[in-house]
Structure formats: structure tokens, C-alpha cells
Chain A
């Protein structure tokens, strides 16, 4: 079991490498705008073209998020979502999908409250493959890393434009699966990444970690996703999708088909990105 789980992220990146393209990682918030709609979206993501799934679990004080994901967290909390509820969603998703990697993303306090050991065991049993904890730098993560190692869940680290080469060594220690490069200094969903700075940064992180590098923060459109897909191993899109859920919820229209259509457009752009380069 453990080995299968560990391998979901790795085998997905190996498959992408064979296909010669970057992957699309989509971020949505568990329970946003309500539990059943969130499940419907989650269930539809692989067919729409998401190669890996980041599933946010809500926290009342998400200090690295811009307004879209802040509001998503509040909607999810209002809908009664919890970390336990997030694991339930994953469990339901795994009934029909054994291959798409799921990475949970959020903040320390709900995981600490759950207990690192019990959380890691329950998350692994539910079918979680990786974990990103925004406010847990390596200096504070030893205990969490130990618990995740036992359960066979990858701790995926963030690196930033402010992470210099020396610090990069510390950051990529005890990480596995892939490394998430935060392409702008800022919160999610606000500033746009400067494509010119992304390529050398990705190369730097790849060299230090020997792992695939996913790039996120500030990637909103298929065009931007394609540009990043030319240089990174995966592209993360979150706030733009979350905004669509918000606007659908606000107008009482169906969020799932709308969001999944956007995911398809992004997936297509990411899949075509390197072909475009060879054509032009």
C-alpha cells in the first residue's frame, strides 16, 4: 500500500516526462462552495485534464493567500468543512480514481490540532499522496516530516524568489515528489509571474533537488500556463479556478461544469505548449 501511494506522484511525473510535456496541477478548496459541489468538481478534474490535484483544506487565517483563496476558505468553513471532512472527500474520490495524485495544501494549525501521527495515518488511508504546509518551513517541520515518512506521504516544499542557493539546500532536504516554486514574492492570485525569471529559477531548483519542479502563484490564463509549461515540469493554477467557483456560487449557476471547462482549456494549453514552440 505504502509504496503504491508514494509512487502516485512519481509515476505521474515519469509518465509526463515520457509524453514530453508539463503537467497541470489544479488547486481547489475542499468544501467550496459546499461539500457536494466540491466533490463533483474534484471527481471531474482528471477527465477535464488535471494531471495532479491540489486540494486545499480551509484555515481561518490563511496569511499567504490573496483575496480569492481567503474567501474560498471562508465559504468552505461556512459550509462546515474541516480537515476530517477534507479526508472524507479524498476517500470518496479514491473509489473511482486510483491513479491521480492528490496533494493536500493548507496551514499548520488544523494538522497540529488533528495530531501529526493520526493525521498522517488517516490521510494515507484516505488516499492522500502529498502535503504542502505553507507556514511550516524546514526549521519547524521535523516532527511532521517524521510522521509523514511513517505513513509514506510526500512533504512537498515551497521555494521562493527569496530562497538563495544556500538556503535552497535546506529547503529541499527531506522533500519528495516534486518541489513547488512560488514564482512571485507575494500572496496567491495577485501578481503575475515574470516568465523571464521563471526559467532560470526552475533550473536552479531542479538542480538542487533532483526533483520535478512545479510553478505556481499568479498563473491565471491558458496563455500564461502555456508559457510556464515550456520551462517547468508542472503548472499550478488555483486562484483563477477558485474565482470561477465564487462567481458561479454568487449567481446560483452550476459551478462544476464551468470550472471543469476552464480546466480543459488550461489542460489543452499546457499539453500544446511545447508543440507550439517547435512549430513557431
Chain B
């Protein structure tokens, strides 16, 4: 039995918010003092046991943590390889892992004396989670959402409205998630005194990538302890889908020092990597600067950002969190992809074999889990993040399958 091999993968970012060459704080000067303040406020909170105690209370009694670790027996039999476990963050309040981060950030916003909350959302899951914590803690909430997504995701828009949030459709640029993020930044730069911006993924200017990762790491910490208790050993592979990458980094991070554990991120290949219509920033992009950080991006020869495509609105983003870019380059994590069709197939398979309707996002991860399980063989263990439930996707899936609801 080897001891953990010592390494410093989890020692990042550095003081400048860098994961190797990635990350940083590429924002306008007007925002720079706010971003620096936020970094300091987060450092203070991180070192304050009272902050953690309060967060932990809400995680237990409001979110419903810890989430179970579930042995997916029938999928395991189906693939005929390694044992497949699901980390079931789809059972959280609001139906996805997004709430973990929102609880942390709303407590930080309150601690900083901010009085107004803004957020961006793609599919609406982060918007719903933000609207939820704003309702719970009594903050006015404005959610920026691409106009095309507002149209595609009406149930989530209605949910946010029910929770008291104002949803502002974004028509600038191409009216997608990246434009919603631009618009939220513009709001922030205009309302510097009272506003806190809850970014939904592990991207943006430092400290967001580190902070969102820390709040989401609760998943990996729990999962690591749970699998050790169940199986008496660590898994051979840990698999998660990647849009911006918050669920993946939250699950991966506590395993970074366990070098025997393969970390596998699954990007959205949309219609296929060769079609150019995909959201696979690592597989099909190159490093650049967008939304306050340096990271892999989908872009043309002039450095203009290209729109992403995925059947899953939650993965439909032309960038990725900077820590993933670094883990990719140093080779600690491996990044693969799954197409829309593969995700749809996995979505149905999981529904029929396990009685769990997954969100389209983790359905991408599941599409690769079968390969990994077969490769590892019967003695292996693979752990996947089932980071969201699929209720929100039934209209999209119905349309893709040619059914009318």
C-alpha cells in the first residue's frame, strides 16, 4: 500500500490568481478594485470558522447534504466492466450542484454588506439557484439570460420569477450565455457600490475560479470519504461533464493528490468536433482571454470568440475554467468529449436502467463512463458526478426524439 505521492496540484492558484499560465484578473480598471476587495473578503471568510459553520448548517438543512453515493448496479451490469457509482448532487434542493456555490457566495455577499445580487445563467439552473438563495436571504436579484435561452427555457424563467427574481433577456452580441456574462459584467461595472456578482461557474477573474471550486469541493470531499467507506479504497477513475467546469473541478479537486485516480472531464462535442458546432474548448480551442481570465477558448484566427453549440444549454459556453486548462496542460486530468446524440442515448439509458432521469449535462459524462468502465474491467471502480436532474430537459429531449408534449 503506497502512501499518497506528494505533489502540489492543489496548491494553486498563486497569489495572482494563476494556475500556471491560466487565470488572472483581466478586467477593466473600474472593476479591478472590486475584484481585489472580493479576493480579500473571500480570504478572510475562508479563514473564519464561523463562516464555515454557518455555511455547513445551510448545506445540511437547506440544500440536503451530504448527497448520497449510489451504486448504479444495472448500468454496471449493462456495460459489463467496472463498478459505476454516482455522486447524486441531482438530489440537492433546486436539482443540481449549482446551489452549493450560491450558498457560499450569498453568505459572502451578506458578510461584505452588499445589498443587490446579479447573476448570469445559460440553461437557468444557476439562475434558479441564485434566485433561490436571494429569496431565502432577502436580496433583490437580477438574472441576465440570453434572449434565445429565455425562449428555450421558459419553465426556468418562470421559476426564477416565482422566486422573486427579475430575468433580463440579453440581446447583445449573439444573445447566448457568453453575452449574458458580458451583460452581468456591465451591470457590475455600473453598480460598483452595492452589487455582488454571483458567477455560476469556476471561471471569471480571480478569486472566482478558486472560490467557486472551493464551494463546490464539498462534492469531492464527501465522495472521497463515501467511496473509501463503501469500497475500502479510492476509485480508479472519476468522471464529470464540463461546461465552465464547476461540477468537475468540485469533484476532482479533493482527488488531485491521489495520483492513482484518473480524472476525466467530458466536454460537449455538439454535432461533432469536425463540424465546428460544439462546445469543446479544450479539445477544439486554444488559449485566450475572455470574461476576466486566460483559458482555452473557441475562437477564430483574429481572436474573435466563436459561439458554442450543445444540446445541453448548461455546457453551451465557448470557454472553460482556468484550472481545467492547467490540469489539461500538465496532464493531471484527461479531457474527452461526447456528442449531442451520445448524450441523448445515455440520457435514455440512465432513465430506463436506473430510474433516474439525469440532466443532459451529466448525460455527457455518462456517455463516456461506459467506455471507462469497460477499459477498467470488473475489478475497477468509476465514480461519476450526477450533477443535475433532467426534469428541466424533458422538452428539449422530447423535441430531439420527435415527440410532442
A residues near B, CB below 8 A?
58-67, 70, 74, 77, 82-84, 107-114, 134-137, 139-140, 157-164, 167, 171, 182, 185-187, 190-191
Q: A135-B289, A158-B28 are in contact. Are A113 and B299 (CB under 8 A)?
A: yes
Q: Could you pull out 12 A-B pairs where Cβ atoms are within 8 angstroms?
A: A61-B290, A63-B186, A67-B172, A109-B289, A110-B303, A112-B303, A160-B29, A167-B32, A167-B33, A171-B29, A186-B30, A186-B189
Residues in A neighbouring B25, C-beta threshold 8 A: 137, 139-140
Contact indicator per residue, chain B 187-213, by CB within 8 Å of chain A (1) or not (0): 001101000000000000000000000
Contact, CB under 8 Å: A84 / B26: no
Q: How far is the CA of A164 from the CA of B34 in the complex (A)?
A: 11
**Which of B29, B172, B182, B304 has a CB less than 8 Å from the CB of A110?**
B304
B287 to chain A, nearest CB (A): 8
How long is the Cα–Cα vector from A112 to B295 in the complex, in angstroms? 12
Is B301 touching A160 in the complex (CB atoms < 8 A)? no
Query: How far does the Cβ of A235 sit from chain B's closest Cβ, in whole Å?
Result: 19
Q: Give the number of residue pairs across the A-B interface with Cβ within 8 Å.
A: 119
Asked if B186 and A137 make an inter-chain contact with CB atoms under 8 angstroms apart, the answer reads no
CB-based contact B173/A64 at 8 Å = no
Q: Is the CB of B302 within 8 A of A83?
A: yes
* Interface assignment of B292: CB less than 8 Å from any CB of chain A: yes
Identify A59's interface contact among B16, B27, B304, CB under 8 A.
Answer: B304
CB atoms of A113 and B302 under 8 A apart: yes
Find out whether the CB atom of B299 lies under 8 angstroms from the CB atom of A108: no
Q: A140's contact among B26, B31, B178, B179, by CB below 8 Å, is which?
A: B26
B189 partner, pick from A58, A74, A187, beta carbons under 8 A? A187
For chain B, the count of residues having a C-beta within 8 Å of the partner chain is 34
Q: A160 to chain B: which residues have CB within 8 Å?
A: 28-30
SS class, residues of chain B in contact with chain A: mixed
The CA-CA distance from A191 to B24 in the complex, in Å, is 29
- Is the beta-carbon distance between B299 and A162 smaller than 8 angstroms? no
Chain B 21-46: CB-based contact to A (< 8 A → 1; otherwise 0): 00011111111111000000000000
Shortest Cβ gap from A269 to chain B (Å): 27
B173 touches A135 (CB 8 A): no
Give B137-160 interface residues, CB cut-off 8 Å to A.
none
A77 CA to B16 CA, complexed, in Å: 33
Interchain nearest-CB distance for A80 vs B (Å): 10
* Residues A139 and B299 in contact, CB atoms below 8 Å apart: no
Could you tell me if A134 and B28 are in contact, using CB atoms closer than 8 angstroms?
yes
CB contacts (< 8 Å) of B33 on chain A: these are 162-164, 167
A264 nearest CB across to chain B (Å) = 31
A109, B190: Cβ atoms under 8 Å? no
Asked if A108 contacts B26 (CB within 8 A), the reply is yes
Q: Which residues of B contact A59 (CB under 8 A)?
A: 303-304
CB distance from A234 to the nearest CB of B (A): 18
B397 within 8 A of A: no
A110 and B302 in contact (CB under 8 A), knowing A134-B28, A140-B25, A171-B29?
A: yes
User: If A60-B173, A187-B186, A187-B189 touch, does A157 touch B29 (CB 8 Å cutoff)?
Assistant: yes
A61 x B178 contact (CB < 8 A): yes
B29, B190, B292 pick with most chain A CB within 10 angstroms: B29
Query: How many Å from the CB of B179 to the closest CB on chain A?
Result: 8
Tell me whether B30 and A185 are in contact (CB under 8 A).
yes
Within 8 A of A (CB), among B333-353: none
- For A70, the chain B residues whose CB sits under 8 A away are 172-173
Q: Are A185 and B26 in contact (CB under 8 A)?
A: no
Cα distance, A84 to B290, chains bound together (Å): 20
Answer yes or no: B68 CB below 8 A from chain A CBs. no
Most chain A Cβ neighbours within 10 Å, of B288, B297, B304: B304
Smallest CB gap from B304: residue in A:
A60
Q: Please, how many angstroms separate the alpha-carbon atoms of A66 and B190 in the complex?
A: 10
Say yes or no for B168: interface residue by CB 8 A criterion: no
Inter-subunit contact B303/A63 (CB<8 Å):
no
Pick from B16, B27, B172, B305: contact of A135, CB under 8 Å: B27
For A74, what are the chain B residues with a Cβ–Cβ distance below 8 Å?
173
Contact present for B299 and A109 (CB under 8 Å): yes
> Given A70-B173, A137-B25, A160-B29, are A64 and B186 neighbors across the interface (CB < 8 Å)?
yes
Q: In the complex, how many angstroms separate the beta carbon of A187 from the nearest chain B beta carbon?
A: 5
> Given the complex, which residues of A lie within 8 Å of B32, measured CB to CB?
137, 139, 162-163, 167
Residues of chain A within 8 A (CB-CB) of B16 are 139
Q: How far is the CA of A253 from the CA of B179 in the complex (A)?
A: 31
Is B262 in contact with chain A by the CB < 8 A criterion?
A: no
Q: Give chain B nearest CB distance to A159 CB in angstroms.
A: 6
Tell me if B185 counts as interface (CB < 8 A to partner A): yes
Query: Which residue in B30, B288, B305 is a CB contact (below 8 Å) of A161?
Result: B30
Neighbouring B residues of A162 by C-beta, 8 Å: 29-34, 192
Name the residue on B nearest A81 (C-beta). B302
Which residues in B have their C-beta under 8 angstroms from that of A111? 303
A107 to B182, CA, bound (A): 13
Q: Which of A135, A139, A191 contacts B28 (CB 8 A)?
A: A135
B305 pairs with A185, CB closer than 8 A:
no
Instruction: Tell me, in angstroms, the Cα distance from A171 to B32 when the chains sit together.
Output: 11
Residue from B173, B299, B303 with most neighbouring chain A CB atoms (10 Å): B303
CB distance from B296 to the nearest CB of A (A): 12
The answer to whether B303 touches A109 (Cβ under 8 A) is yes
Kindly provide the distance from the CB of A123 to the nearest chain B CB, expressed in whole angstroms.
15
A188 to B149, CA, bound (A): 26
* A64 contact set on B, CB distance < 8 A: 28, 30, 185-186, 189
- A159 touching B173, Cβ below 8 Å: no
Closest partner residue, chain B, to A136 (CB atom): B26
A82 and B190: CB pair below 8 A?
no
Chain B 52-81 interface mask (CB, 8 Å, partner A; 1/0): 000000000000000000000000000000
Residues of B within 8 A of A108 (CB): 26, 289
**Most chain A C-beta atoms within 10 Å of own C-beta, residue among B26, B189, B192, B291:** B26
Q: Of residues B25, B292, B297, B302, which shows the largest number of chain A Cβ atoms within 10 Å of its Cβ?
A: B302
- Which residue of B is nearest A159, CB measured? B29
Most central of A58, A110, A191 by chain B CB within 10 Å: A110
Closest chain A CB from B59 CB (angstroms): 32
Write out the residue numbers on chain A whose beta carbons fall within 8 Å of the beta carbon of B24. 139-140
